Chains A and B, each alone.
Chain A
Amino acid sequence: MIRKNNKKKETERIENQKSGIVFEQVPEMDRKYYNACHLCLNAGLNATILISSIISIMSAFDIVYNKIVLILTVTLMCIMFSSFYLKVWWKLIGYIAILIGFIYGVTNYAYVIRGGFGIIANKFMEVLEVRLDLPIERRYDEYVNNKVYAVTLCLIFIACSLGLLLNIAINETKGFIIAFFSTFPFVQIGMYLGKRMDIMSSVLYFSALICLIILRNSRYYKIETKRHKGYSAKKKKNIVTYDYVTDPRNSFSITIIIIVVIMVCSGVIALIFPRAAFRMDEKYSAWKDSTLDTAKRIAIVGFWGMLNPNGSGVGGISRNELGNVDRITLGYEKQLGVTTMVIPEEEYIYLRAYTGTYYEDNRWKYISESENRKKHNLENYTLINRPWSPALNSKDVEDLTNEILKIDFEKGRNLTDAKKSIWVENVFANINYTYLPYNVSQLGLYCKLVNDDEYDASLFYESEFKCLYYHLKEENIVKTGNCALNNYLQNKEEEVFDVESAYRKYVYDTYLDVPEKNRTVIMNILQKHDIYSEDGLYAIDKIKNMFENEYEYTLMPGKTPSKKDFVNYFLMDSKKGYCTYFASSAVLMFRSLGIPARYVGGYMFYTTDNDTRREAYYRLDDLKADGVLSEGTPYIIDVTDADAHAWVEVYIDYLGWVRVEVTPGALEENGEDDSGVNQLLTDALFNRQTYERIKKSTIVIILLTVLLAMLTVVMYIFIAAILRYRRKRRYDPDKDFGYLLSVCRVYKLGWNSSMTYEELAELLCGEDLCSEKNTKRLAFLVEKSKYSRNELSDDEKKEIHVIVTDISVLIKKRISVFKIVRYLYLF
């Protein structure tokens, strides 16, 4: 770089000598630096394009967000981005600050941003589904807590990312093409789909693009980045061109004028000609319709993953319509973090999220959601002989059961083998559900039962709660027809029976409901398999066996046809499905047999899976239950969306709600469907094994890249050395003469730059360093190289080189080695 600059200066000096006209400094234009104008212009264009395009798109799709916050944030960010071009060092600091801000935002608000994106994407796809007649079934997770906040944050994130790119394009080149292609494809979707876009924001968007074109055409952008210098100079064919920075006030005023004029005209036209009156000839609409088919084909080919014919759903808990997806895709994303003492007997843990009481329209609904059955709200039931607490709920019954279990744990240990504490942290699960284990003895205050099947809960992200629960020895209490509890119950006071009997009545009134359309099918199925109500609780086993033998567990059961009932279709036609299918069908079948049952959704995970657990000895104090630490090992277990599960609860008289697992293979570890296709599917997903494979191949790629870079550097050095060697072989008269002068200086010849070259020649001749003829020739050739308009020929250059070399050799023989080294090579 230094050598290049020196060579440039030397070339300039020689040219000046030849032409005789020397411009020692660039012609100066009298101007001031209007940094504020540059800043406002570039930031304004950037912010206008971003904000107007976002408002246009969002208005077309009726997505709600906080406009004012978006406008303010994006404007401030654009001003900050544009300020990078004020000073060089500020650019570096600014980008570092953005990186830190980005990392902070992503680590703390990733779930909100992603949730917001899910809301926007789902909305887009809803519209596309209708317009293109494509069953786009992929749904993204939405942030349910505050949708406006999530969407606004997501839009700010997108705007700032895009704004950074546009900032470079606008500041450096007034890049219309980049601005256009990064925003117009999204703006035009609304127009293409015939949505009503906000006209003023759309006009503002196009006005900003027109301003960009004009500024670029007027060459305003040309030396925007050199505005501190004020000019840029370039030379072509001996003509030097000086580009002076345009006065930004001019461009700023042009921009404002254009935007204002177009906006005012648009406003006037919009008032005079209402939009409804604008209608093009119908034949143009036919052209557009004919492209829909092409667009559809492109969408299918280009977005196959989202547009598989019947769509797919994601793993995790949801209370959406059942059977509306083709398959389930497991993301293995962490939803909860569970910390507990794992005892050898407890291979798996169930955490209840919500229960479903009424099956309507292919969905499980709460009592409060069912219009027809609100009469079954608990408040309508009172407890006889307990006027001081007339309302009862299943929690009272739970408390009753826990009372029994408590006694058993303290004295007998016939039913229970451990009282444990469990901590549940919400990582990315729905905050409005409960995540309670069974047989809870002591619960925190984060959730409150508001109806028999409904909790009012709010477990925010990164919050955790603790509860104590009993682990029962015999999970399948239903098997025992005469359970040992009877012994305890008989010794209890009548009050207990009163509570339970009143609640039991409520249960039998509420939880035996089977929709009309399902009754016939279910009865037929039960009769076919000789399952009758007289079988009592043994019918449960029969139904489980039926599922085991005749129904297939799969994550890809296919979508339920739109006009068919979910349960009926499963039982009669498809005979394959996952836990939701089995649980829903089982609930209705149990109810048909007179066994009160309800649908439960939540998580079921294994405590023995080494891939998902890690030791947590630092939390031993937290894991004590009533000051006592149960046996076992403390673990933190990652509960993922793949652990989401559905099962059944049946009501056992005198006992309460008891869990029943009806999904075949659920209680076997990794008992998911491992059929070939599903295995292929799960293998293709991003699971831990895939991650390890990707990590290894990434390391290999990085090593190869580093090797390649090193090889490139070595080759560069080698080629540069060759070129340098070849350059040395070319004759350079200026260099040769310069060398001669430095040698003469060491020799103290007595020549200085105010003397002529002829005088130098005379001095050299006088010292017998060269013949008179050669010295005169040397002086002539050196003068010619310095002043002549003609280039020296190669022979002349060689002549200089030879003469200089001869003289230098002679001089070096006459001076000491010490002087040569000191003056020529060191200083």
Chain B
Amino acid sequence: MVANLINYLLLIALVTTGLLFYNDYILAILLAALIIMPVISIVLFYKTYKNIKIKITDFPVTAGRNNDIKFKILVKNESFYPMGDMKIRLHVENIFYGNEKEYILNVANVPFKSNEITWKFKSLYCGCIKVDITEVEVRDFLGIVRKKYAYKENKTMVIMPVPKIAEFDMQALSSGDGDESEVQYKKGTDVSDISQIRPYEPGDSLQSVHWKLTARYDEWMVKEYSMPYTNRLCLILELYNNSDMPDEMDSVIEAYIGYALFMINNGREFYMVWYNSESHNNIIREIQTENDVMLALNDIMYVKPSNNCMDAYYAYKNEYGNSDFTGLYVTNASNMLNLKEDKLGIYSGKAVIYGL
């Protein structure tokens, strides 16, 4: 802008010098035109620049991870004044991860016309994507005057993970080395308790085979563990953002949802718990249907992950450690070494579920 102004002033100075020097009629006309034009331009510019409207349209509410997302930015000049090119600063952020990108668009400003820019992108990670138009800079058509101002136009959407029902083998905790004294029908709160011994039925896991009794009875005998009878089962989510492995958190969320759907499909009601690092408290939701799972997931996407790898674990232990809750703790696989809890399953090599 400064360069343009200097150019213009130099031109006026040149014409003025020429007028004195060459004493010519033509230069007088030119000088008059050069002086009048910027005055008209500046006056009209300040009167009309606010008539520029920018909108984000066709913005979806949710989308899947790695799915194509399309939205449009509409730029309209509702004035009669032909301005110079306009700069729009666009900020795209995944609030969940804190990843962000910034773009600047230079578009033309034609009076009474609109420009539509179609954006197509996809998010590799789930979370909450926010598209924000932060700043606009307009120029007059002579390029002398520039006005930069903040603009408030933003839209958010949730990027959902790819939910895959994840089974976990609750029986895998036990090695099956117990003897007859273990044969007792007991319903208890401990998931590892054997509730009964029965003959093998096709489909039983080999891990549940009671080898001693099988050898004694010459018939395949399997152990059946007692199912937890209490309804107060908590699925705890550790929202830890490992900056070295950003895609790990996605796997954790997918595992979390996968396990939740597994339990819903098996008719089990439970609670979903996660930790809000901003408000420093646990958030708990009762889950009875698949819809509850999706709603809870939507809320999770708006939570800011924590930078500590066991915030949710300790928060849960503090609040619900002495309660009758049974906890299933889902965290990232690289956290494995920090825990001595019983591992119930590994999801895609990145997420682990523990029984608390």
Name A's B-contacting residues (CB within 8 A). Answer: 16-25, 27-31, 176, 188, 191-192, 194, 197, 199, 202-203, 206, 210, 213-214, 216-220, 222, 238-247, 249-250, 253-254, 262, 265-266, 269-270, 275, 278-280, 284-285, 287-288, 291, 756, 758-759, 783-784, 787-790
In the assembled complex, B142 has its CB within 8 A of some CB on chain A: yes
Judge whether A284 and B21 touch: CB under 8 Å. Answer: yes
Q: What distance in Å separates the Cβ of B321 from its nearest Cβ neighbour in chain A?
A: 32
Known: A241-B106, A265-B33. A203 touches B26 (CB 8 A): yes
- Asked if B211 is an interface residue, CB under 8 A from chain A, the answer is no
Q: B100, A202: Cβ atoms under 8 Å?
A: no
Closest to A239 in B: B102
Flag if A218 contacts B84 (CB, 8 Å).
Answer: yes
Given contacts A19-B101, A242-B104, A262-B33, contact A213 B8 (CB under 8 A): yes
Q: Give B121 Cβ to nearest chain A Cβ, in Å.
A: 5
A254 touches B26 (CB 8 A): no
**Interface membership of chain B positions 92-120, coded 1 if the CB is closer than 8 angstroms to chain A and 0 otherwise:** 10100101111111111010010111111
CA–CA, A758 and B27, complex, Å: 79
**Is the CB–CB distance between B121 and A21 below 8 Å?**
yes
Q: Which residues of B contact A29 (CB under 8 A)?
A: 107, 115-118
- Measured between alpha carbons, how far is A242 from B27 in the docked complex, in Å? 40
Task: Determine whether the beta carbon of A275 is less than 8 Å from that of B105.
Answer: no
Flag if A214 contacts B141 (CB, 8 Å). yes
Smallest CB-CB separation from B126: which chain A residue? A20
- Nearest 6 interchain pairs by C-beta: A217-B143, A218-B84, A246-B108, A20-B125, A788-B244, A191-B22
B348 at the binding interface (Cβ < 8 Å): yes
Task: Kindly report which residue of chain A lies nearest to residue B333, judged by CB atoms.
Answer: A758
Nearest chain A residue, comparing its CB with the CB of B65: A20
Instruction: Report whether A19 and B25 are in contact in the complex, using a CB–CB cutoff of 8 Å.
Output: no
CA distance A793 to B246 in the complex (A): 18
**Cα A17 to Cα B245 with chains together (Å):** 11
CB distance A219 to B143 under 8 Å?
yes
Tell me the bound Cα distance from A239 to B104 in angstroms.
7
Cβ-based interface call for B23 (8 A):
yes
B99 neighbours in A (Cβ, 8 Å):
18-21
Contact A284 B20 (CB under 8 A): yes
Min Cβ gap B93→A in Å is 8
Q: Decide if B85 touches A246 in the complex (CB within 8 Å).
A: yes
Query: Inside 8 A of B101's CB, which chain A residues have their CB?
Result: 19, 21, 238, 240
Q: Is the CB of B29 within 8 A of A192?
A: no
Q: Which residues of A contact B105 (CB under 8 A)?
A: 27, 241-242, 244
In the complex, whether B319 has a CB less than 8 A from a CB of chain A is no
Number of residues on chain B facing chain A (CB within 8 A): 67
Chain B residue at minimum C-beta to C-beta distance from A284: B20
Judged by a CB distance under 8 angstroms, whether B186 is at the interface is no
CB B120 to nearest CB in A, in angstroms, measures 6
Specify which of B22, B28, B100, B244 is in contact with A784 (CB 8 Å cutoff). B244
B106 touches A219 (CB 8 A): yes
C-alpha spacing A25/B121, complex, angstroms:
8
> Does chain A have a CB within 8 A of B260?
no
Within 8 A of A (CB), among B1-48: 4, 7-8, 11, 18-30, 32-34, 37
Chain A, Cβ-Cβ closest to B125: A20
CA distance A192 to B23 in the complex (A): 8
Q: Is B317 an interface residue (CB 8 A)?
A: no
The reply to whether A280 and B20 contact each other, CB–CB distance below 8 Å, is yes
Decide: A787 and B29 in contact? CB cutoff 8 A. no
B124 touches A239 (CB 8 A): no
Known A29-B117, A254-B141; judge A278-B129 contact (CB<8 A).
no
Supposing A254-B141, A783-B245, A784-B245 touch, asked if A21 and B108 sit within 8 A by C-beta, the answer is no
The residues of B that contact A210 with a CB separation of less than 8 Å are 30, 33-34, 37
Chain B contacts of A756 at CB under 8 A? 348-350
User: Which residue of the partner chain B has the closest CB to A223?
Assistant: B106
Residues of A within 8 A of B30 (CB): 203, 206, 210, 262
Q: Which among B124, B143, B246, B349 is the interface contact of A759 at CB below 8 angstroms?
A: B349
The residue on B at minimum CB distance from A22 is: B122
For residue B123, CB closer than 8 A to chain A, the reply is yes
Distance from B100 Cβ to chain A, minimum over Cβ atoms (Å): 7
Interface centre among A29, A203, A788 (most CB of B within 10 A): A29
27 examples of A-B residue contacts, CB within 8 angstroms: A17-B124, A21-B121, A23-B120, A24-B122, A25-B120, A27-B73, A27-B117, A27-B118, A29-B115, A191-B27, A203-B29, A214-B141, A216-B143, A217-B7, A217-B144, A239-B104, A241-B104, A244-B115, A244-B117, A246-B85, A247-B108, A265-B32, A279-B23, A288-B21, A759-B349, A787-B246, A787-B247
Q: How far is the CA of A216 from the CA of B34 in the complex (A)?
A: 16
**Does B210 sit at the interface, judged by CB under 8 A?**
no
B243 in contact with A217 (CB, 8 Å): no
Docked complex Cα distance between A243 and B117 (Å) = 12
Q: Say yes or no: A240 contacts B103, CB within 8 Å.
A: yes
Question: Which of A20, A24, A191 is the one whose CB lies under 8 Å from B94?
Answer: A20
Complex Cα spacing A220 to B110, Å? 12
Q: Is the CB of B76 closer than 8 A to any CB of chain A?
A: no
Evaluate whether A287 and B119 lie within 8 angstroms (CB atoms) in the complex, with A213-B11, A759-B349, A788-B245 already known.
no
Bound complex: CA A194 to CA B110 (Å): 43
Task: Please pick, from B116, B120, B246, the residue contacting A788 in the complex, using a CB distance under 8 A.
Answer: B246
Contacts of A279 in B (CB 8 A): 23
In the assembled complex, the Cα of A203 lies from the Cα of B15 at a distance in Å of 13
Q: 1/0 contact trace for B150-185 toward A, CB 8 Å?
A: 000000000000000000000000000000000000
Is B82 located at the chain interface by the 8 A CB criterion? yes
Q: How far is the CB of B229 from chain A (nearest CB, A)?
A: 37
What's the nearest-Cβ distance from chain A to residue B164, in Å? 14
How far is it, in angstroms, between the C-alpha of A239 and the C-alpha of B120 when the chains are bound? Answer: 18
A278-B28, A758-B349 given; 15 more Cβ-contact pairs under 8 Å: A22-B124, A29-B115, A191-B27, A199-B26, A202-B26, A217-B4, A219-B143, A238-B102, A239-B102, A244-B106, A244-B117, A247-B110, A266-B29, A280-B23, A789-B244
CA–CA, A449 to B7, complex, Å? 67
With a CB–CB cut-off of 8 A, which chain A residues contact B4?
Answer: 217
- Smallest Cβ-Cβ distance to B121: which chain A residue: A23
Q: Determine if B343 is an interface residue (Cβ-Cβ < 8 Å).
A: no
In the bound assembly, the distance between CA atoms of A316 and B127 in angstroms comes to: 91
Report the Cα distance A291→B129, complex, angstroms: 69
Cross-interface CB contact of B107 among A244, A270, A278, A759, cutoff 8 Å: A244
A249 to chain B, nearest CB (A): 8
Most buried by A among B7, B23, B102, B120: B23
Q: Which of B178-204 contact A (CB under 8 A)?
A: none
Residue of B nearest to A232 (CB): B106
Known contacts A241-B103, A243-B106, A280-B20: A217-B84 contact under CB 8 Å: yes
Q: Within 8 Å CB of A246, what residues of B? A: 85, 108
Question: A18 contacts B246, CB within 8 Å?
Answer: yes
Q: Is the CB of A218 within 8 A of B20?
A: no
Q: How far is the CA of A176 from the CA of B116 in the complex (A)?
A: 32
Closest A-chain residue to B85, C-beta based?
Answer: A219
B246: nearest chain-A partner, CB-CB: A787
What chain B residues lie within 8 Å of A197 (beta carbons)? Answer: 24, 26
- Which residue on B lies nearest to A277, using beta carbons? B25
B223 at the interface (CB under 8 A from A): no
Q: Are B103 and A218 in contact (CB under 8 A)?
A: no
* Minimal Cβ-Cβ distance residue in B for A200: B26
A241 to B87, CA, bound (A): 9
- Which residues on A sit within 8 Å (CB–CB) of B124? 16-17, 20-22
Contact B84 A219 (CB under 8 A): yes
CA distance A784 to B121 in the complex (A): 24
Contact residues in B for A20 (Cβ distance below 8 Å): 94, 97, 99, 123-125, 127, 246
